[in-house]
Structure 1
Amino acid sequence: MRSIDLSPLYRSFIGSDHLASLIDAATRAEKQSGYPPYNIELLADDKYRITMAIAGFGKDDVSIEVADNTLTISGNKQTDNDNADRKFLHKGISERNFERKFQLGDHVKVLAADLENGLLHIDLERVIPEAKKPRKIEIGSKLFENQ
């Protein structure tokens, strides 16, 4: 896959630097490896769940952070000196460190995270503020009263 340099376009993104950062994040996401594998589920109209397969990682090895509509999940496995003496005939369970980022939409909040049986579940919900929700206007009604 080829890499596209978007830095000359930043001069044109005056006041729209958020758009430029989204484009950069999208190109970086394409370069990520497939580790660890994950699913994104739609549980209800505005509820989602991200499930990641992180076998071998415990609660203390995983960090979950949300900043600027970006959910960052990173795993940092401490090397165990006891495992240095072990000899594997086949090692298929990867215990390498990882970092996976997800761009969250506006008004998406992380509700909970749980680690069970080697699967990390992160529940999300889109909470639309009352002012942004569509409302029905009756014909002939007055929205603003003269004071």
Structure 2
Amino acid sequence: PMLVAFIILWIILAKFGWPLFEGMLIKRETTIKDALEQSENARVESERVLAEYKRQLEETKAQSAQIIADAKKTGEAVKADITAKAQAEAAGMIEKAHAAIEADKKAAIAELQGSVADLSVAVASRLIGEDLNDDEHRKIIERYVNEAGSFNAN
């Protein structure tokens, strides 16, 4: 009886149970294959994304290096421009100072000439013993200047 029960059970399981069990195994195998394919696809995608991020990082580094180089160039150009303007301004100030000194020098020479002329007339008047008029003073001064040289000599 056990053998008959075993054979009946085996026939029932072979007819009804085995196809269900085999279906479950096939379904499990398909699920595992799909999971492996998805994980492989995810791995490939993550490698692609990683490569893209690395490329973007390199581009960003190159851009930042270019920005720094441009900023240095601009800074040096501004520095050169400021230096040139300062030098031009200093040269202008020096030129103005030279012009002012030259004007003061000419004014001092003119004042000195006037003083020398007045003093010469006074000395000449005392030496001659008579008071000369303006025209005579001028003639004597001009003759003296021609003989002695110019007062504008450097």
The answer to whether the superposition gives a TM-score over 0.5 is no
TM-score band, normalised by shorter chain: under 0.3
Q: Normalising by structure 2, what TM-score?
A: 0.19
Which structure has greater strand proportion?
Answer: 1
With CA pairs under 8 Å and 6+ residues apart, which has the higher RCO, 1 or 2?
A: 1
Q: Normalising by structure 1, what TM-score?
A: 0.20
